[in-house]
Every structure is written in structure tokens, then in C-alpha cells.
Chain A
Amino acid sequence: MTHAGYLVAGWGISLVVLGGYALGLVRRGRRLAPRVPVDRRRWIDSPGSDRG
């Protein structure tokens, strides 16, 4: 018995929502970053390097 339609819907919706949300976060970050001095971005150590 196959449930292909349910599987495609469940996995598809989840991956699209998670991917879309991730993309939205990246865009929000890029829009906000120019308004903030680099030294206030705590995940970046110095102009030449960044850290995780």
C-alpha cells in the first residue's frame, strides 16, 4: 500500500516551511546588518575573521 501523496505533502510542506523560514532569517539579517556597526555583531571577531 502506498501513501505517496501523504508523504510528499508532509515532507514537502515541512522542508518548504523550514527552508523559507531560514531564507527569511538570512534576509532579515542582511537588511539589519548595515544599520549596526561591525563591532556590535558579536559573532564577528575582527574585520579579517569571523567565528561561529
Chain B
Amino acid sequence: MAGPDKRRDGTGSRGSRLLGVGALVSVAALIVLAFVATDADVRTHPTTGEEFGQFDAVRMLYLHVPLAVLMYVAFVVCAVASAGVLLRRTAWWDVTAYAAAEVGTVLCGLVLVTGSIWGRPVWNTWWEWGDVRLMTTLVLFLLFVGYLALRRTTTDPRLQARRAAVVALVAVLDIPLINRSVAWWENRTLHQQSTLAELKIEDLTLFTLMFGFLAFGLVAWWLLVHRFRVGWLEQAATDHDVAIALAERRFETSATDLDAAIGRRDNREDPV
């Protein structure tokens, strides 16, 4: 006897399952590229002959840089959807904004952690409080943690959506500051200028970094799709529960009216 199709019981679909398989295969291929195919960053000083560079720590950048860029993308999606919430006031925009904010916050947390772990061998420090890029990224993370906390403070969904949308639109103003901080505060950051924009890397290193964008892009897309569907299910479940409660209330009221009507009729019919 065939049982219920388990695959239909959640947020999965044929497309999202394909996306998930693609993401897993890409991340596996990225690990091979990052740890086996590419070399460590070892350069030799032209006069002293001393070795310098990031050595094996460069392999962390195939993870850290794509996560950072995808974090920007997720928060920008959140901001666009938040603008949609304020302009259109539909559930679709709100669910999208909430999903992008949650995925972006997870990515932002990982960017801070992986950056700190990379910084220890390369900069000889876990964290530098005076570094403008680190601090503006931390501020962005805390702003979106606040956003997620705000979404739990009220049960009125419309009020919650509007308040969260305003916070998101303010929070994303931090993104240009993070992105331009290495140029605007050149002397107050340990970060280097954009390596990609000036094409200081090439060949397999560049390919692996680009492949990292693809692999983690698929992962982030999968997370966003499933987080959207979870949010959609939450809203639909609430609406469904309310609809059932209203129907039951109407039924009770009708039954009470019916009882009252029957009572009146019986009173008229029964001789005293």
C-alpha cells in the first residue's frame, strides 16, 4: 500500500531539490579546488629572498569573500522587499523581506567568524576594534539581529511588517559604508583595497574564487527559497487557524440562534 508522499509534506519542490543537489555538488567541488588544486600564497621578497604571503590561510578567502558578497545581496533583497512592504503592503513582500534578513544575518555572522579566524594567522590578531570595516560589519550584524528580535515583539502582523521594513531600510545604509570603508578610511583598516577590482589575482586562484561565488550563491539561493516557504507556511497556517476559529464561532452562533428560535417556537406551541 502506498503511503503519503513525504516529499510533499514540507517546503521542497522538484526545482528546489535540483537546486539543493547543485549546491552540494558545487560546494564539494569548491573544497577540492580550494584545498587540492590551488597553491598556497607564498611569495619571495626580491631583495632579501624571504618568503612572505598568506600561506595556507588564503584558502579561507574562497569561503569568506563569497559569503561577504552574498551577505550584501541578501540584505539588499531584504531592503527592496521592505520597500515593497511599505508601498504594496502585501504578505509576499513581507515574507520575502523576513526570509532575506534571516539568511543575511546567518551569512553576516559567518563572515565575522571566518574573517576573525583568517585574521589570526595573517594579521596576528583575532579582532581589531579600530578597524572601520570590521566595526561597520559588526554594526550591520547587530542591526539585523535587532530586526529579527523586532519581528517577535508584536502579534499584529501589519504593524510588525511596517516597523521591520523601516529598520531594514535604515540598516542597509551601512552596506555602502562597509564596502567603501577601505577607500574612505584607508589608514584605519587592516583590510586591503579590492583585489578583484584591480585584478591582482589570476588563473586558478581567480577561478576558484569565482567558483566560490557560484557554490555559495546556490547555497544562499536554496536557503532563501526554503526560508521564504517556511514564512509562507507560517502565514498560511495562521490564516487557516483564524478561518477555522471564525467558522466554528459562526457555527456556534448559528446553533445558539437556532436553539433560541426552536425554544421560542416550542414555547408558542406548548399550551401553558
A-B Cβ contacts below 8 A, count? 124
- Chain A residues in 8 Å Cβ range of B168: none
Q: How far is the CA of A48 from the CA of B233 in the complex (A)?
A: 20
- Chain B residues in 8 Å Cβ range of A1: 40, 55-56
Sort A-B residue pairs by CB-CB distance and give the 5 closest, nearest first. A52-B15, A29-B11, A29-B10, A32-B233, A35-B237
Q: A1-B56, A14-B63, A52-B16 are in contact. Are A44 and B8 (CB under 8 A)?
A: yes
User: Mostly helix, strand, loop or mixed at chain A's interface?
Assistant: helix
Enumerate B40-68 residues with CB–CB distance to A below 8 Å. Answer: 40, 55-57, 59-60, 63-64, 67
- Chain A residues in 8 Å Cβ range of B200: none
B241 on the A face (CB < 8 A): yes
Q: How far is the CA of A2 from the CA of B55 in the complex (A)?
A: 7
Q: A3-B55, A3-B57, A25-B223 are in contact. Are A50 and B237 (CB under 8 A)?
A: no
User: Mostly helix, strand, loop or mixed at chain B's interface?
Assistant: helix
- Chain B residues in 8 Å Cβ range of A17: 106, 109-110
B residues neighboring A (CB under 8 Å): 7-16, 18-19, 27, 31, 35, 40, 55-57, 59-60, 63-64, 67, 106, 109-110, 113-114, 117-118, 120-121, 219, 222-223, 226-227, 229-230, 232-234, 236-237, 239-241
Total chain A interface residues with beta-carbon distance under 8 A: 37
Contact of A10 among B8, B18, B55, B64 (CB under 8 A): B64
Q: How far is the CB of A12 from chain B (nearest CB, A)?
A: 10
- Chain B residues in 8 Å Cβ range of A35: 233, 237, 240-241
- Chain A residues in 8 Å Cβ range of B240: 35-37, 40
Q: A29-B11, A35-B237 are in contact. Are A52 and B57 (CB under 8 A)?
A: no
Q: A50-B13, A52-B13, A52-B18 are in contact. Are A10 and B226 (CB under 8 A)?
A: no
